[in-house]
Amino acid sequence: MKSRITALVFMFAMLLSLTTMAQEQKQRFERQQKLEQYADSEYHRFPAAKLLTEDQKEAITSIRMESMKDAKTFRDQLKELRAHHETLMAAGTPDMKAIYKSLDKPG
């Protein structure tokens, strides 16, 4: 009798866990489908792009590319300054004047 109840409880727990896993898998699949649909949309980042002319789209693209180049140059300069600062800090006896001078550099 006790083993039957244990078996029934075990079967119920298995059935419950299987249904919850199936629901989670279905929700994950639906979420993935929505994300793919959204990513496939040409205007998902800028819906007003439908209203722009080709010249305006090209102007926007060129401005974006120019600003991305400027940002990359700035990031590279910042990385160089950080590397220089870390080099100064890693010395056995750090030169505090040089460290403060490197911190005061614009960038």
* Highest mean pLDDT: which range of 14-18, 38-42, 45-49, 80-84: 80-84
Look at the pTM and tell me if it is higher than 0.85.
no
Token pair for 33:
């489908």
pLDDT band at 63 (very low <50, low <70, confident <90, very high): very high
What digits encode the pLDDT tens for the residues 67-76?
999 999 999 9
Rounded (5°) CA angle 83-65-74 = 20
32-49 residue pLDDT tens: 887 777 665 655 566 677
